[in-house]
Chain A
Amino acid sequence: MKVKVRLFGTLGKKFPDHDPLDGFEIEIPENANVGDLLDRLEIPKSKIGPVSVEGHLVKAAKILQPGDFIRIYRPIFGG
């Protein structure tokens, strides 16, 4: 199934077809969850901050639906 993913901060840099303001569409297996998606993107967990699906914060076990818009944020640091 296809989902839309937007990677924030420098997370999107390694994906040439990722638009920094709009993200990209990717294909993942049916019933995949957020953890599966993060594995598929091969982004180390230490580089990932909050993740939301359709604007709601989720944990790794959240099952994804076709067409979901997933936002993956960088870890929170600063001040």
Chain B
Amino acid sequence: MKFLKLDMATAAVSITDVPQEYAGLGGRGLTSLMINTEIPAKCDPLGPENKLIIAPGYLSGTALVNSSRLSIGAKSPLTGGIKESNVGGTVAADLAHLGITAIIVEGQASAGACFVLKIDADGNGELLDGSAYKGLRTYELVKKLNEAFGEKNSITCIGPAGEFLLTAASIQTTDADGRPCRAAGRGGLGAVMGSKGLKAVIVAKGGKAADAITDPDVFKESAKIYAKAVKDDAGTEDLAEYGSAGLVAPINAVGAFPTRNARQGQFEEVDKITGETMAEIIKKRGGKNVHMGCAQCIIRCSNEYVDKDGSYVTSSLEYETIWSMGGMLGNSDLDSIAKLDFLCDDIGLDTISTGVAIAVAMDAGYKAFGDAQAAIEMVEEVAKGTEFGKIIGNGPGAVGEHFNHDRVPVIKNQSIAAYDPRAIQGMAVTYATTPMGGDHTAGWVVAENLEEFGGTLDRFSAEGQVEASRNSQIHMAAVDTVGICDFAQSGFGAGLANVCKMIAAKSGKPFSEADWTALGTRILKAEREFNRNAGFTEKDDRLPKMFYEEPLPPHNKVVVISDEEMDRTFDF
């Protein structure tokens, strides 16, 4: 249990014990409470007062399956509020194996300086001159870092977009195959890393200094029960075969698949971009379905998309990207979607914000919907650093401003994801109220909203939506703290008490189901407090007017959650 602190101004690295106030925390709980305590809310997110905090989940690096999730937190340059961006890969497990609770990046290197952080197998860190790596795209960067430091590392890094300080810039991290294809995409944290002068973090694998588990027998037993519940869940096989892309067909079927910058809720060419189509193409061309992307994963929802010659294009092609670069652009060409996914990973861009930025540009008439080549050129412009590239790289809000176009589906300047809030009212509450800005993972209430197929809520009615979103947001804040993968939440089928047992078995302190809820609530309160101090008001917990005023075909509904109901979400 230690913090690795980087003072970027002096290139000093220090190791400190985890202060008592942060004991028992990891992931989002740690990043958000630390941000609220230690970062001035009104600071320049790209200035020296901001901190970039990189924290594995509390259960990362343990024997628990699907627990290699990393939280990266800072004040967001995109939203101006608090941000936790969550990513898989292997780095969370690798950091936890070294006993590192968090890397805290403070201050700022002098203008033009570029560093890489190397953490060795003993958990010691050193900031090294990284000027040779300046400007590199992530795949080339990883190749060069592997040549210099060997391949037994995980690498977390930024591409040109982060170096340009663009607010749709991601932080990429390597997957189980060592490719920088996993993204902490949301909130522009790549720009924060770039502003610090930090290009990459290289973490040695195989550390032997993981935090001790106080009661290993209880932990092992509960971890086994959890793994069995994941394995036995009906959804696990589907996730393996089709990945998150299996959502394309059903979400489109229920009319909640935002199409052509959310002008329609169904895409008439959807059959060309479903998860089923993707899986067939991959199979036929010799790519990989049922692919392991993250450490300790037993679901294997990842895939490796290849071109007609069988050569690697990207990994992993996901639902949100198929939406943002597909349906949202009126683009049914899966090969171009895969290429756009690769380009975003390589340049270091959030695929959601970038796709939606292009969608807004097309909606404003800059290029026609469906023009995949134009989309590719727009993303390439980001890497070139052109004026228009900077606008795209700053996300949909910047594009809307540039074209003086008001159909911009953002909340707190961050774009929505692939569920239209007019067709799933619960997602309207989550998008509007989460302290993160438009974000689907903060409180995914899609399944609960499908009343006609087992859900308990009428998805077109306001009734019960605030409560559903609130409960989900509290739960997810805790999930993101322990570092369990969202897709492995089927393990909660064995009971929340079983998860609480693992937390208690690690810490040696009692941890009840009530403590779980209290943890999630405490995190949300801290995040809300930071945003209030940064200048946010209840007016920021609203959707753009297109969602209240434009009925969405085919159901022709608008968002019906009133402002008063939105404000009730966090009445604690």
Q: A50-B250, A50-B254, A78-B487 are in contact. Are A9 and B241 (CB under 8 A)?
A: yes
Q: Is the CB of B453 within 8 A of A50?
A: yes
Task: Please name all residues of chain B whose beta carbon is closer than 8 Å to the beta carbon of A78 when the two chains form the complex.
Answer: 235, 239, 244, 246-247, 319, 444, 486-487
Task: Please name all residues of chain B whose beta carbon is closer than 8 Å to the beta carbon of A59 when the two chains form the complex.
Answer: 452
Q: A49-B453, A50-B450, A75-B454 are in contact. Are A9 and B253 (CB under 8 A)?
A: no
Q: Is the CB of A79 within 8 A of B250?
A: no
Q: Is the CB of B235 within 8 A of A8?
A: no
Q: A8-B249, A20-B276 are in contact. Are A77 and B235 (CB under 8 A)?
A: yes
B240 nearest CB across to chain A (Å) = 9
CA distance A16 to B265 in the complex (A): 33
Q: Is the CB of A57 within 8 A of B253?
A: yes
Choose from B254, B280, B450 the contact partner of A21 (Cβ within 8 Å): B280
Q: Is the CB of A76 within 8 A of B247?
A: yes
| Chain B positions 261-295 with a Cβ under 8 Å from a chain A Cβ | 271, 274-277, 279-280
Closest to B450 in A: A76
Q: Is the CB of A50 within 8 A of B253?
A: yes
Q: Is the CB of A73 within 8 A of B250?
A: yes
CA distance A72 to B460 in the complex (A): 22
A60 nearest CB across to chain B (Å) = 9
Choose from A21, A51, A76 the contact partner of B446 (Cβ within 8 Å): A76
| Chain A positions 30-51 with a Cβ under 8 Å from a chain B Cβ | 46-51
Q: Is the CB of A49 within 8 A of B450?
A: yes
Q: A10-B241, A78-B319 are in contact. Are A49 and B250 (CB under 8 A)?
A: yes
Task: Please name all residues of chain A whose beta carbon is closer than 8 Å to the beta carbon of B250 when the two chains form the complex.
Answer: 8, 49-50, 73-74, 76
B431 nearest CB across to chain A (Å) = 14
For residue B440, CB closer than 8 A to chain A, the reply is yes
Choose from B251, B271, B274 the contact partner of A76 (Cβ within 8 Å): B251
B-side interface size class: 35 or more
For residue B148, CB closer than 8 A to chain A, the reply is no
For residue B380, CB closer than 8 A to chain A, the reply is no
For residue B496, CB closer than 8 A to chain A, the reply is no
A-side interface size class: 20 to 34
CA distance A59 to B440 in the complex (A): 27
Q: Is the CB of B237 within 8 A of A10?
A: yes
CA distance A47 to B238 in the complex (A): 11
Most chain B CB inside 10 Å of its own CB: which residue of A20, A48, A50: A50
For residue B3, CB closer than 8 A to chain A, the reply is no
For residue B132, CB closer than 8 A to chain A, the reply is no
Most chain B CB inside 10 Å of its own CB: which residue of A8, A47, A79: A79
CA distance A48 to B250 in the complex (A): 11
Task: Please name all residues of chain A whose beta carbon is closer than 8 Å to the beta carbon of B254 when the two chains form the complex.
Answer: 50, 57, 76
Most chain B CB inside 10 Å of its own CB: which residue of A52, A59, A77: A77
Q: A8-B276, A47-B234, A59-B452 are in contact. Are A77 and B447 (CB under 8 A)?
A: yes
For residue B461, CB closer than 8 A to chain A, the reply is no
Q: Is the CB of B441 within 8 A of A71?
A: no
Most chain A CB inside 10 Å of its own CB: which residue of B239, B246, B274: B246
Q: Is the CB of A75 within 8 A of B247?
A: no
Task: Please name all residues of chain B whose beta carbon is closer than 8 Å to the beta carbon of A10 when the two chains form the complex.
Answer: 237-238, 241
Against A, the Cβ 8 Å flags (1 = close, 0 = not) of B478-502 are 0000000011001000000000000
CA distance A47 to B237 in the complex (A): 12
Q: Is the CB of A75 within 8 A of B234?
A: yes
Q: Is the CB of B238 within 8 A of A9?
A: yes
Q: Is the CB of A52 within 8 A of B253?
A: yes
For residue B133, CB closer than 8 A to chain A, the reply is no
| Chain B positions 446-485 with a Cβ under 8 Å from a chain A Cβ | 446-447, 450, 452-454
B87 nearest CB across to chain A (Å) = 14
| Chain B positions 186-236 with a Cβ under 8 Å from a chain A Cβ | 234-235
Closest to B254 in A: A50
CA distance A73 to B452 in the complex (A): 13
CA distance A75 to B238 in the complex (A): 10
B322 nearest CB across to chain A (Å) = 13
For residue B242, CB closer than 8 A to chain A, the reply is yes
Closest to A19 in B: B280
Q: Is the CB of B238 within 8 A of A79?
A: no
CA distance A78 to B242 in the complex (A): 11
Most chain B CB inside 10 Å of its own CB: which residue of A49, A51, A76: A76
CA distance A75 to B235 in the complex (A): 8
B409 nearest CB across to chain A (Å) = 19
CA distance A9 to B279 in the complex (A): 10
Task: Please name all residues of chain B whose beta carbon is closer than 8 Å to the beta carbon of A46 when the two chains form the complex.
Answer: 234
Choose from B251, B276, B446 the contact partner of A9 (Cβ within 8 Å): B276
Task: Please name all residues of chain B whose beta carbon is closer than 8 Å to the beta carbon of A71 when the two chains form the complex.
Answer: 249, 253
Task: Please name all residues of chain A whose beta carbon is closer than 8 Å to the beta carbon of B487 when the two chains form the complex.
Answer: 78-79
CA distance A65 to B239 in the complex (A): 33
Q: Is the CB of B237 within 8 A of A75?
A: no
Q: Is the CB of A9 within 8 A of B452?
A: no
Task: Please name all residues of chain A whose beta carbon is closer than 8 Å to the beta carbon of B255 when the two chains form the complex.
Answer: 57
Return 10 A-B CB contacts under 8 Å, by A number. Answer: A9-B241, A20-B280, A46-B234, A49-B453, A50-B450, A52-B253, A74-B250, A75-B453, A75-B454, A79-B441
**A residues whose Cβ falls under 8 Å from a Cβ of B:** 8-10, 20-21, 46-52, 57, 59, 71, 73-79
